[in-house]
Amino acid sequence: VQPVLGIGDDAALVQIAAGKQLVVAADTLVEGRHFPRDADPAQIASRAIRVNLSDMAAMGAEPLHYTLCLTLPDSDQDWLESFAAALRQDSELFKCSLIGGDTTRGELCISLQMLGVVETGAALKRSAASIGEAVWVTGNLGDAAAFIDSKFTGNADLANRFWRPQPRIDFALAAHSLIGACIDISDGLVADLGHICSASGVAATLQTDRLPLSQQLIEFAPDSARQLALTGGDDYELCFTSSAESETQLRAIATEQNIQLTRIGSISSGSGVNCLDENGSVLNFERSGYSHF
Amino acid sequence: VQPVLGIGDDAALVQIAAGKQLVVAADTLVEGRHFPRDADPAQIASRAIRVNLSDMAAMGAEPLHYTLCLTLPDSDQDWLESFAAALRQDSELFKCSLIGGDTTRGELCISLQMLGVVETGAALKRSAASIGEAVWVTGNLGDAAAFIDSKFTGNADLANRFWRPQPRIDFALAAHSLIGACIDISDGLVADLGHICSASGVAATLQTDRLPLSQQLIEFAPDSARQLALTGGDDYELCFTSSAESETQLRAIATEQNIQLTRIGSISSGSGVNCLDENGSVLNFERSGYSHF
């Protein structure tokens, strides 16, 4: 999609089609805080754009354009070319384009603002969960957290899950009419499902023996896999609610798109997220998710 | 203006009225690079939002919403409250609202993305200058540059010009049908008018004895006032082109809005910006404007 006016003027100009609403998200990655120093610029670029694309997926939106505010210590041509090439590749893959921004000198810091569109009234919100709905997640949970816990030394598969999360845009677009509330898992499943619960005024119960864990996670972190899946965050999978009648259709979309989909719990009246083990006993955690400070 | 959905979900949701186009700008301020360390958080906030509002003015757009990506060293409540209060004040003054963003820990860095709207086809572009048009500027030039040159120790009036630039939104909205090309002066008059020239495929001649210089600038920097006005940048006044027939109407709008407006040159065929002194001789400069690296 091309903007009416792109990079090179005081601002970019974008046409929003009739019947569509604009969706706006912005996320920052800081070196040493969100990723290790001296990380590969291509990986940094990929993660920066994909975490923002994941917000589009969580809203059921189609990505359109983005601006990039890039602060970096020096004007290293190799670094910039590698960063830009990866950004371009993901832009093509997810059909969005860079329309503006700013480049400044300072500590390495990437702020990306993503613009997308959704049919008017069709946006997926955190506040739309209903009592009796099932709770679902896409993909596997805990992989990215295991990579972080290993101080970014874990194996290549886990690394890939951290650096190149898969924004579930096509799934959200195809399934949006079947979905109640939706969020992407950035802070951790318990924390993010908790956001759905508080926004919707409901409670959720998780059957933690159902959590989708990858083989690589179970091998890499056999003792903490479930804990990582519950509280680790950074997988950028979708967590959403849906009525029991929608299960067949949801599974059909997932099969068609070759996406793993797992029913992990249910919505009830009350507040907060209850985690049950295989015996139906309540699990307790020291931490429920990522703290921004 | 309220968004359909503001802060608190994965992204914000905005309705763009029929017949309007979206205008998108993003700018970053980094401590120690764009402003001194330990600066007043209220001043930082004011400058951060106003430089982005100025991009809206330069496009002839009406500001609507913005996202803020704030990176700061620690979670200092007093600092944050002062920053937020100033941001809120300017948001009200310029009728726009914060709809999302991110707060992270790191070196102090503020990336703000502004969204505005313009009637379809009415955006002011750098590429629309025509041969024979006059070149105009709003306000005075050089004040902010004098404050920077004084290492941020200049007097209060100059400080105010740096920290609280006046986005000329109302002027641009009222005068847009009289304006050819338009840009806001952030890098310096010669550099920014140069951007208009290269985008429009024209040349400009400046009569430097006509440059609007404030009394405070002449007193503070008697020897370099003109040079600062030509190459200093950071005033965020508008530089635009307009046909001779529009002069009366332009002046009427300026008078009504109590804005100073000065005709400083003209557009001709060719390329580049020629600066003439009071005798019609060509001036030369060592530097033509701000370099981002």
pLDDT (tens place) for every residue of chain A, 293 residues total: 788 998 889 999 999 999 999 999 999 999 998 999 889 999 999 999 999 999 999 999 999 999 999 999 987 899 999 999 999 999 999 999 999 999 999 999 999 999 999 999 999 999 999 999 999 999 999 999 999 988 888 788 999 999 999 999 999 999 999 999 999 999 999 999 999 999 999 999 999 999 999 999 999 999 999 999 999 989 999 999 999 999 999 999 999 999 999 999 999 999 999 999 989 999 876 555 544 44
How do residues B184-221 score in pLDDT, each as one tens digit?
999 999 999 999 999 999 999 999 999 999 999 999 99
pTM > 0.90: yes
CB contact under 8 A, A120 and B15: yes
Find the radius of gyration of the CA atoms of chain B: 19
Residues of chain A contacting B120 with CB distance shorter than 8 Å? 15
Distance, in Å, from the CA atom of A68 to the CA atom of A195, rounded to the nearest integer, reads: 27
Least Cα separation, residue B197 to chain A (angstroms) = 12
Across A129-271, where does the E strand assignment appear? 134-138, 182-184, 203-207, 238-242, 261-268
Q: Quick one: which of A38, A1, A48, A41 has its CA closest to A20?
A: A1
Spatial neighbors of A258 by CB under 8 A, at least 6 apart, are none
Q: Which residues of A touch B293 (CB under 8 A)?
A: 75, 103, 105
> Do A12 and B23 count as a contact with CB atoms less than 8 A apart?
yes
Using pLDDT thresholds of 50, 70 and 90, give the confidence band for residue B293.
very low
Q: What is the pLDDT of residue A293?
A: 41
CB distance A34–B104 less than 8 Å? yes
Burial A82-103 (b: 16+ CB within 10 A, else e): bbbebbeebbeebebbbbbbbe
Please tell me the predicted confidence (pLDDT) of residue B290: 47
Pairing status of strand A62-72 against strand A97-105: parallel
Yes or no: say if B201 and B128 are a contact pair by the CB < 8 Å rule. Answer: no
Asked whether the beta carbons of residue A104 and residue B28 sit closer than 8 angstroms, the reply is yes
Q: Residues A217, A223, A225, A228: is their CA dihedral positive or negative?
A: negative
Q: Which amino acid belongs to residue A121?
A: G
Q: Tokens at residue A201, please?
A: 């005024």
Which value, in Å, is the radius of gyration of the alpha carbons in chain A? 19
B153 vs B28: which has the higher pLDDT: B28
Instruction: Provide the β-strand partners of residue A14.
Output: B22
Q: Which of B22, B112, B293 should we substitute to test contact with A (largest number of A Cβ atoms within 10 Å)?
A: B22
- Residue B76: pLDDT band with limits 50, 70, 90: confident
Closest Cα in chain B to A200: B9
* Structure confidence at residue A98 (pLDDT): 96
Short-list A154, A153, A177, CA closest to A60: A177
Secondary structure (H, E, C), B235-274:
CCCEEEEECHHHHHHHHHHHHHHCCCEEEEEEEECCCEEE
Distance CA(B69)–CA(A29), nearest Å, equals 10
Q: Spell out the residues 6+ positions from residue A116 whose beta carbon is closer than 8 angstroms to its own.
A: A22, A23, A25, A56, A59, A61, A62, A63, A64, A96, B11
> What pLDDT shows up at residue B292?
41
Residue of B18, B21, B293 lying closest to A105 (CB–CB): B293
Q: What is the DSSP string of A53-68?
A: HHHHHHTTPEEEEEEE
Reduced to 3 states, what is the DSSP secondary structure of residue A261?
strand
From chain B, the residues in CB contact with A25 under 8 A are: 10-12, 67, 100
β-bridge mates for residue B268, sequence order: B203
pLDDT at residue B285 is higher than 80: no
Measured between beta carbons, which residues in chain B are less than 8 angstroms from residue A68? 26
Q: Please state the rounded mean pLDDT for residues B153-178.
A: 94
- Tell me how many residue pairs between chain A and chain B have CB atoms under 8 A apart: 200
What does the buried/exposed string (b/e) look like for B226-250 if buried means 16 or more CB atoms within 10 Å of the residue's CB? bbbbbbbbbbbbbbbbbeeebeeeb
Tell me which chain A residues have a C-beta less than 8 angstroms from the C-beta of B99: 24
Per CB-CB distance under 8 Å, the chain B contacts of A4 are 21, 123
* Cβ atoms within 10 Å of A37's Cβ, excluding its own: 7
Evaluate whether A23 touches B12 at the Cβ level (below 8 Å). Answer: yes
pLDDT tens, residue by residue, B97-141:
999 999 999 999 999 999 999 999 999 999 999 999 999 999 999
Q: Which amino acid is at A72?
A: L
pLDDT digits (tens, 9 = 90+) for B6-40: 888 899 999 999 999 999 999 999 999 899 988 99
| pLDDT number for residue B286 | 57
Interface contact B24-A55, CB threshold 8 A: no
Q: What percent of chain B has pLDDT over 70?
A: 97
C-alpha span between B144 and A234 (Å, rounded): 43
Query: How far apart, in whole angstroms, are the C-alpha atoms of residue A66 and residue A7?
Result: 11
User: B215 burial class (0-12, 13-18, 19+ CB within 10 angstroms)?
Assistant: exposed
